[in-house]
Chain A
Amino acid sequence: MRVVAAMSGGVDSAVAAARMIDAGHEVVGVHLALAQSAATLRESARGCCTLEDAGDARRVADRLGIPFYVWDMAERFREDVVEDFVAEYAAGRTPNPCLRCNEKIKFAALLDKALALGFDAVATGHYAQVVEVPDAAAPGGVRRELHRAVDAAKDQSYVLGVLDAEQLAHSFFPLGDTTKPQIRQEAAERGFSVAKKPDSHDICFIADGDTRGWLADRLGSRPGPVVDPDGTVLGEHGGAHGYTVGQRRGLGLKVPPADGSKRYVVSTDTTTNTVVVGPEELLGVDLVAADHVRWCGPAPTGELRVGAQVRAHGQEHPATVQVESGGGSPDRLTVRLDERIRGVAPGQSVVLYDGTRVVGSGTIARAGRASGATVG
């Protein structure tokens, strides 16, 4: 097959490209230029948008003897990922831009361009597995399923939970059967200069990792009250968009709680610009409503038992999901968790698993308690 290997300049995508070549594919390396201004050399590997990263990717491609190109998708990235991220925060939600990037850029804009240019698929260095299952109903008699990676600590199936069957049909994740330390060793054995390059983390377009400061620059300061669940004003905040459910630090409250317990953000309301804080026990939720549903295969209907994960490196929680198929309108999910969990904020994605298989995902619209008041 003719495959585009998306090469960020990191160790994972370098080994992924090498493995695709070893598997006999005709591989071309492509580095996505996503930053508005790429002309910075940064030491740490926060993302994939620096000149140094592009250079690292190019060196690996040279070593592999494959053609290498930089494709400029900065405009699409700004529209579909960065502006969406800002708008979500402005609306009081907590988005994960990596899912949006996979859905709209890597496995959409990049994949579409690759297919149009005559390629068959895109390969990335994500830690996840595609398993081919015989299915008479599927084209070619084979259905491709998305599964968790072997390395549980590195598993990135969560951020791929937005891929639909069509996208999966053209995707390769050659690292899913290997652990990260083994990949680093393999990179060193292959003589890649990036073998010891640190992992990327945080949000690639926020260079210093200061998400709240970055958002404040774009959304401005909008002071409002911090209140307790009864509505008593405890202090002032600089904008409800800067707060996330479950957050404890940086509340800046002068009045100590009467009982001395720790206080957490339990909800934010950007309409009234209010941040509600309360004790830990108010954070637990067991009922989650989600929309913007994406299925990584045939769309299920009715009720199903799943493992639900609400954060990139979070736990999986047993749950029952009710799928509301809207006919022509988009699907919605109601997720009933067997036990209450914390740290569920609107805007996060809930990814559904059946064993190691990714069933699909939705964006959390509301979270609350089956037995009590809606929170968040």
Chain B
Amino acid sequence: MLTPTPVYLDHAATTPVLDEVVEVVVRTMRQVGNASSLHSPGREARRVVEESRERVAEALRVRPSEVIFTSGGTESDNIAVKGTYAARLAAGRDSGARRDRLVVSGVEHHAVLDSVEHLVRHQGARVTWVEPDADGVVTPQALAAAIEADGGPGTVALASVMWANNEVGTVQPVPELAAVAHEHDIPFHSDAVQALGQVPLDLSAVDLGVVTGHKIGGPLGVGVLTAGRDQSPVPLTHGGGQERQLRSGTLDTPGIAGLAEAVAHAAEHQASHARHLSVLRDALIEGALALDDGITVSGRWSPGDVTGRLPGNVHLRVADCEGDSLLYLLDAAGIACSTGSACQAGVPRPSHVLLAMGVPEAEARGALRLTLGHGSERADVDAFLAALPPALERARRAHAASRSRA
């Protein structure tokens, strides 16, 4: 049992569950019924699932039939990338085309990156990475160039660019990017896990969209893949044929009901939530920069901006510092945050997102991500800003100590 952490600045990792979500989940959990059963309890479960599907569809601006319930963002991304690759490769083969190429941004989440790497390593896929600019933005021009490269548009199975980056908070021009892909009838996939609830989201702009519950006050372990009606990815899971044959498995009725509650809440309150978070974000960034102590903001940021950068995202790079030292010192001071990058066996690695943005490796090691969400208040910002200077000082000493050779 760890000491309770009073200041939670890691909402991009997961969020506290909303009270109304807990109520819906608990209430639904008390009901028996498999949504695939034909009897009365089954019909009742089915009703909960379908009403949830309709709520989610409305919030994400797609049709109910385009909503596929999954176990979360990672599974949804896997189906979108691997399933679409397999379907497009097979369809291309029938028409004599070699559609074996994925056009993917270099700043994707590992759920996408590693799915792509898997296809390259084990299924003979090719990949063209679309590199972002220094702010982490993937431009339509860069995507168009990548589609034209390596054999041209006819060889592309799928284009994938996330809606908003989980580390540096950069929001991508997704409708424009999707339009570039659609010029060549290439399906476009976007991981919108971080975007939901923070920026306006219209998943009808993309062929395959991904959101998950636990980033918006919903339950862990349940998420959504939106798949346009003309998309038929090859399923990765086989069995009872639920969810348009795309994702077999007994539906998690309570989880889905809770997810729908959270998604509806996120969409309904997006604008006011974004304004509230952006005020805190700007105070946090301005306070950190005011220390004038070797701190840089990653990605693009201008005060009051609620569309170019996630309103709840702060990503700082601290010179001559290890992010994991800062993480420990802030944790000890009661502040939960993140370095932002994935770990391997708990070992922080320099972030591929920062490296793709052209940040030098030494600088990338001093990364600190602070993410705000519902429940965040000005007091959280103040607590962080108070804890930062002593943590910086100690972390710099540790950095110097681990550099010097005995």
Contacts and interface: CB of A to CB of B under 8 A. Distances in A.
A72 B347 contact: yes
B398 interface: yes
Interface string B393-405: 0110111111011
Contacts of A58: 346
A38 B402 contact: no
A112 B401 contact: yes
A99 to B, nearest CB: 13
Nearest to A31: B346
Interface in A56-88: 58, 65, 67, 69-74, 76, 80
A76 B403 CA distance: 9
Nearest to A38: B345
Interface in A82-121: 103-104, 108-109, 112-113, 115-118
B329 interface: yes
B346 A113 contact: no
B331 A33 contact: no
A35 B105 CA distance: 30
Interface string B379-402: 000000000000000110111111
Contacts of B325: 113, 117
A73 B397 CA distance: 16
Contact of A38 (B347, B400, B406): B347
| Interface core residue of A33, A73, A103, A104 (most chain B CB under 10 Å) | A33
B264 to A, nearest CB: 36
Interface string B353-397: 000000000000000000000000000000000000000001101
B406 A103 contact: yes
Contacts of A69: 324, 328, 346
Given A67-B331, A117-B329, A117-B395, A39 B401 contact: no
| Interface core residue of B328, B332, B400, B401 (most chain A CB under 10 Å) | B401
Contacts of B2: 65, 67
A113 B345 contact: no
A70 B1 contact: no
Contact of A33 (B346, B395, B397, B400): B346
A69 B346 CA distance: 7
Nearest to A111: B401
A345 interface: no
A227 interface: no
Interface residues of A, number: 28
Given A31-B346, A54-B345, A70-B347, A113 B398 contact: yes
A215 interface: no
B331 to A, nearest CB: 7
B344 interface: yes
| Interface core residue of B325, B343, B398, B405 (most chain A CB under 10 Å) | B398
A116 B348 contact: no
Contacts of B332: 67
A51 interface: yes
Contacts of A33: 345-347
A28 B328 CA distance: 10
A164 to B, nearest CB: 10
Contact of A116 (B331, B343, B401): B401
| Interface core residue of A31, A71, A76 (most chain B CB under 10 Å) | A71
B406 A39 contact: no
A39 B329 contact: no
Given A31-B346, A116-B397, A117-B395, A67 B402 contact: no
Given A104-B406, A117-B329, A51 B345 contact: yes
Interface string B159-190: 00000000000000000000000000000000
A103 B406 CA distance: 9
A33 B344 CA distance: 10
Interface string A244-285: 000000000000000000000000000000000000000000
Contacts of B394: 116-118
A255 to B, nearest CB: 48
A325 B402 CA distance: 30
Contacts of A103: 406
B345 A39 contact: yes
A112 B331 CA distance: 20
Nearest to A26: B332
Contact of B402 (A39, A54, A65, A109): A109
A118 B332 CA distance: 11
Contacts of B402: 73, 76, 109, 112-113, 116
B349 to A, nearest CB: 8
Contacts of B329: 117-118
Contacts of A109: 401-402, 406
Contacts of B398: 112-113, 116-117
A97 to B, nearest CB: 16
A69 B343 CA distance: 11
Nearest to B390: A118
A122 to B, nearest CB: 13
A116 B322 CA distance: 13
B328 A67 contact: yes
Contact of B346 (A70, A74, A108): A70
A17 B7 CA distance: 28
Interface in A329-346: none
B404 A112 contact: yes
Nearest to A70: B346
A113 B398 CA distance: 5
Interface in A283-341: none
A74 B349 CA distance: 12
Contact of B344 (A39, A67, A71, A104): A39
Nearest to A55: B345
Nearest to A2: B332
A28 B325 CA distance: 13
Nearest to B400: A116
Nearest to A53: B345
A76 to B, nearest CB: 7
Contacts of B404: 112
Contacts of B343: 70
A70 B397 CA distance: 18
Given A69-B328, A116-B394, A54 B346 contact: yes
Contacts of A70: 343, 345-347
A352 to B, nearest CB: 21
B108 to A, nearest CB: 20
6 contacts: A67-B328, A72-B347, A113-B398, A115-B401, A116-B394, A116-B402
Interface of B: 1-2, 324-325, 328-329, 331-332, 343-348, 394-395, 397-402, 404-406
Interface of A: 28, 31, 33, 38-39, 51, 54, 58, 65, 67, 69-74, 76, 80, 103-104, 108-109, 112-113, 115-118
Given A33-B346, A72-B324, A112-B406, 4 more contacts: A70-B346, A73-B402, A103-B406, A116-B398
10 closest Cβ pairs, A-B complex: A70-B346, A112-B401, A116-B397, A116-B398, A38-B345, A116-B401, A108-B406, A33-B347, A72-B347, A113-B398
